[in-house]
Amino acid sequence: MSRNSMRRVPFPEAGTGMELRLKNPGFATLFNKYGLDYFAVVEKGLLFYDFDLIETMLTLCLEKQGKNVDLTIEDLNEDLPLEKLRDKLLDAFTLAANGRTYSEQVEWTKEQAAKLEDENPSLASPGGILSNSETEPTGQESAQTNSTN
């Protein structure tokens, strides 16, 4: 199996031989439309069912035998769950970006964060880049710190 065929997501719900695949010009389009944060914008937009973004991704990704096919959400079978469409678009996006399906990418990211935390535990401490805290320590925590100094 060629590397390119591994980065295609079969999409028979759109018709025989249909696939989803994001190519480099598609990434350029996303970058130009959404800016430097396009990766996060696309991920979040798909996760929260942004219909404009779903239409954009369909336009960029849907193809048959390597040629783009112009279909909209309305053209797809009404029995197709929106969640399934979203998941396939997420897979096409992350497969093109790094060769992993979306669920594989999420798992890989968790593994990398755990590995980084194991190598440098201070990253997970309050205020560290891997901590769940996005705020400064509370007054009580500050008071405890100050009383030990």
pLDDT of residue 38: 95
Q: How many domains does the chain have?
A: 2
Both 70 and 94 in one domain: the answer is yes
Both 41 and 64 in one domain: the answer is yes
Three-state SS letters, the chain:
CCHHHHCCEECHHHCCCEEECCCHHHHHHHHHHHCCCHHHHHHHHHHCCCHHHHHHHHHHHEEECCEECCCCHHHCCCCCCHHHHHHHHHHHHHHHHHCCCHHHHHHHHHHHHHHHHHHCHHHHCCCCCCCCCCCCCCHHHHHHHHHHC
* Tokens linked to 127: 């205020």
AA letter at 39: F
pLDDT of residue 147: 47
Q: How far apart are CA 84 and CA 65, in angstroms?
A: 22
pLDDT of residue 116: 85
Phi, psi of 20 (to 5 degrees): -115, 130
Both 49 and 12 in one domain: the answer is yes
Both 116 and 72 in one domain: the answer is no
Domain extent at residue 134: 107-148
pLDDT of residue 2: 43
Q: What is the pTM of this model?
A: 0.76
Asked if 93 contacts 46 with a C-beta cutoff of 8 angstroms, the reply is yes
Low-confidence spans in the chain with pLDDT less than 70? 1-5, 123-125, 127-149
pLDDT of residue 5: 57
